[in-house]
């Protein structure tokens, strides 16, 4: 039986859902940690170059292709690649690899998401350690490091919040695209931006605005990162991760637009909101707060110890030592939770779309089966040490770049420049020139090759 596919109910809802897809832990945790680890200003040039040469073009490709496929009843990479190759089984197999990437990511992503919810409640109800007032970062963080390790060991409490998070994701996906995902984004995204701005101002102004030095560290642009292959991999990987590209997560959301939606505008809005929450809000919270509390020397050291250090140990240690600390820590973790929730929905929806569109499963069956896989993966991440870091490097950076390469080749060269250009200029008020298609078809893949080559030859 062919069921009618849903479409986003309102334009604002569509933009907010897509922004919720892109804005996530990547913006508030992954970005500041990577930037700090790769030298702040040295990271930012490869980052902005990757945004322009790869991020924006691939964002537009995924929107255009998503609308094209949605009109024809497909929403997952499996269905989309199938559509382009006469539903050949090899094409569907490669497409399914694309769907596997977001599912691999959500397996660890949702485990982290559940910590944010757990930490939010524990902060508010006074179960977090008491802050130690000292300028020595090690001493200040000690109790929080122990707390984090005990919590994620995993503890019983962590298991409870993991299940709450899993069930919440199931409920929202089960309610569907409009009543579930769109409504969550309409409520969550404005709240997220408000809380982000609030914490940004608090971090920057701490200790008589010393926090601003942290922002300067990130924006002290310099050329030294350009020579380093790892900086390029991580910067371009971050662009893909943060914009949710290279795995069809954006294309899946785009497949639910109305047939005549202006997807170029939607794509630019998605990227614009995401970058605002990353390079303005994300850059203004964690690093500036750490600077204000512990000074410049602490930054490289904090960054070395991994992504979670900053968000789950440094940030609560700092916030809890301020007036209304428990409340501020609560706001920080709820901010992370909303960001993560609207992204974990987006990471799971491609698989739901695969089951519904390609296998014609009922909605409940599609959502439940997808979530069962996520439940299994999240438990593997919780119990196997290092599983999470490995997944993040391979699924969260390397495979994204590889799959983006496949997308560019198929959607521009196999589909054809003329066909792609026709779709690109359909129903939009922003007319891109044809040279944009040639540019994206050549420069973007060359850029990915260059990064790959650089990496292998290291």
* Contact residues: ligand PHE, CB under 6 A: 21-22, 24-27, 102, 105, 241-242, 244, 247, 249, 343, 346-347
Q: How far is the CB of 438 from ligand PHE (least distance, A)?
A: 27
Tokens of 356: 């519904």
Give 264-293 as a DSSP string: HHHHHHHHHHHHIIIIIIIHHHHHHHHHHH
Contact 440, 412 (CB under 8 A): yes
Q: How far is the CB of 397 from ligand PHE (least distance, A)?
A: 11
The alpha carbon dihedral of 16, 18, 22, 25 has a sign of: positive
Q: How far is the CB of 108 from ligand PHE (least distance, A)?
A: 11
Q: Which is nearer to ligand PHE, 110 or 298 (CB)?
A: 110
Q: Which is nearer to ligand PHE, 119 or 294 (CB)?
A: 119
Taking alpha carbons only, the member of 400, 373, 381 closest to residue 112 is 381
Q: Which is nearer to ligand PHE, 22 or 318 (CB)?
A: 22
Helices first, then strands: H and E counts in the chain: 24, 0
Taking alpha carbons only, the member of 404, 429, 349 closest to residue 6 is 349
Give 167-230 as a DSSP string: HHHHHHHHHHIIIIIIHHHHHHHHHHHHHHHHHHHHHHHHHHHTHHHHHHHHH---GGGGG-HH
Q: Which is nearer to ligand PHE, 101 or 128 (CB)?
A: 101
Q: How far is the CB of 81 from ligand PHE (least distance, A)?
A: 18
Q: Which is nearer to ligand PHE, 24 or 143 (CB)?
A: 24
Give the whole-angstrom CA distance, residue 339 versus residue 443.
32
Tokens of 346: 């987006």
Q: How far is the CB of 166 from ligand PHE (least distance, A)?
A: 17
Give the whole-angstrom CA distance, residue 244 versus residue 360.
26
Tokens of 302: 């904090």
Q: How far is the CB of 109 from ligand PHE (least distance, A)?
A: 7
Q: Which is nearer to ligand PHE, 109 or 420 (CB)?
A: 109
- Assign residue 68 a region: left if phi > 0, alpha if psi is -120 to 50, beta otherwise? alpha
Taking alpha carbons only, the member of 388, 299, 427, 369 closest to residue 99 is 369
Q: How far is the CB of 455 from ligand PHE (least distance, A)?
A: 21
Give Cβ neighbours of residue 257 (< 8 Å, ≥ 6 apart).
Answer: 7, 8, 14, 66, 67, 70, 263, 266
Give the whole-angstrom CA distance, residue 228 versus residue 231.
5
3-state DSSP: the chain helix, strand, coil percent, rounded to 5? 80, 0, 20
Q: How far is the CB of 127 from ligand PHE (least distance, A)?
A: 27
Q: How far is the CB of 154 from ligand PHE (least distance, A)?
A: 22
Q: Which is nearer to ligand PHE, 37 or 346 (CB)?
A: 346
Q: How far is the CB of 26 from ligand PHE (least distance, A)?
A: 2
Q: Which is nearer to ligand PHE, 59 or 199 (CB)?
A: 59
Count CB atoms within 10 A of the CB of residue 139.
Answer: 12
Give Cβ neighbours of residue 69 (< 8 Å, ≥ 6 apart).
Answer: 75, 79, 80, 83, 251, 255
Q: Which is nearer to ligand PHE, 141 or 315 (CB)?
A: 315
Q: Which is nearer to ligand PHE, 19 or 290 (CB)?
A: 19
Q: How far is the CB of 64 from ligand PHE (least distance, A)?
A: 18
Q: Which is nearer to ligand PHE, 21 or 78 (CB)?
A: 21
């Amino acid at each position: 039986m062919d069921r009618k596919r849903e479409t986003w109910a309102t334009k604002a809802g569509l933009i907010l859902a897509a922004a919720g897809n892109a804005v996530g832990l990547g913006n508030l945790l992954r970005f500041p940690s990577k930037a700090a680890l790769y030298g702040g200003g040295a990271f930012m040039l490869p980052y902005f170059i990757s945004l322009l040469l790869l991020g924006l073009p691939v964002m537009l490709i995924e929107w255009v292709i998503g609308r094209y496929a949605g009109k024809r009843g497909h929403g997952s990479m499996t269905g989309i690649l199938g559509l382009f190759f006469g539903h050949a089984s090899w094409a569907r197999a490669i497409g399914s690899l694309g769907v596997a990437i977001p599912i691999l990511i959500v397996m660890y992503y949702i485990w982290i998401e559940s910590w944010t919810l757990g930490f939010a409640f524990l902060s508010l109800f006074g179960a977090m350690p008491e802050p130690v007032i000292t300028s020595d970062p090690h001493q200040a963080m000690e109790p929080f490091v122990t707390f984090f390790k005990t919590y994620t060991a995993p503890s019983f409490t962590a298991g409870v919040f993991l299940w709450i998070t899993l069930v919440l994701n199931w409920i929202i996906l089960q309610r569907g695209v409009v009543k579930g995902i769109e409504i969550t984004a309409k409520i969550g995204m404005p709240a997220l931006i408000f809380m982000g701005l609030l914490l940004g101002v608090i971090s920057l102004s701490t200790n008589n605005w010393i926090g601003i030095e942290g922002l300067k560290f990130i924006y002290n642009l310099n050329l030294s990162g350009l020579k380093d292959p790892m900086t390029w991999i991580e910067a371009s990987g971050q662009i893909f991760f943060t914009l949710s590209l290279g795995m069809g997560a954006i294309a899946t959301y785009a497949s639910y637009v109305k047939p005549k939606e202006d997807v170029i505008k939607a794509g630019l809005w998605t990227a614009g909101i995401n970058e605002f929450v990353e390079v303005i809000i994300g850059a203004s919270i964690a690093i500036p707060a750490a600077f204000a509390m512990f000074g410049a020397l602490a930054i490289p050291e904090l960054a070395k110890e991994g992504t979670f250090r900053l968000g789950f140990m440094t940030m609560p240690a700092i916030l809890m030592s301020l007036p209304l600390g428990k409340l501020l820590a609560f706001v920080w973790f709820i901010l992370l939770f909303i960001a993560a929730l609207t992204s974990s929905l987006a990471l799971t929806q491609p698989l739901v779309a695969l089951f519904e569109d390609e296998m014609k499963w009922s909605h409940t069956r599609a959502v439940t089966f997808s979530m069962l896989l996520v439940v299994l993966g999240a438990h593997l991440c919780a119990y196997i040490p290092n599983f999470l870091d490995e997944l993040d490097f391979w699924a969260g950076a390397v495979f994204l770049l590889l799959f983006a390469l496949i997308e560019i080749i198929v959607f521009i060269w196999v589909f054809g420049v003329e066909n792609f250009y026709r779709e690109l200029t359909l129903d939009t008020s922003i007319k891109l020139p044809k040279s944009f298609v040639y540019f994206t078809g050549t420069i973007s893949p060359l850029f990915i090759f260059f990064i790959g080559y650089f990496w292998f030859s290291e």
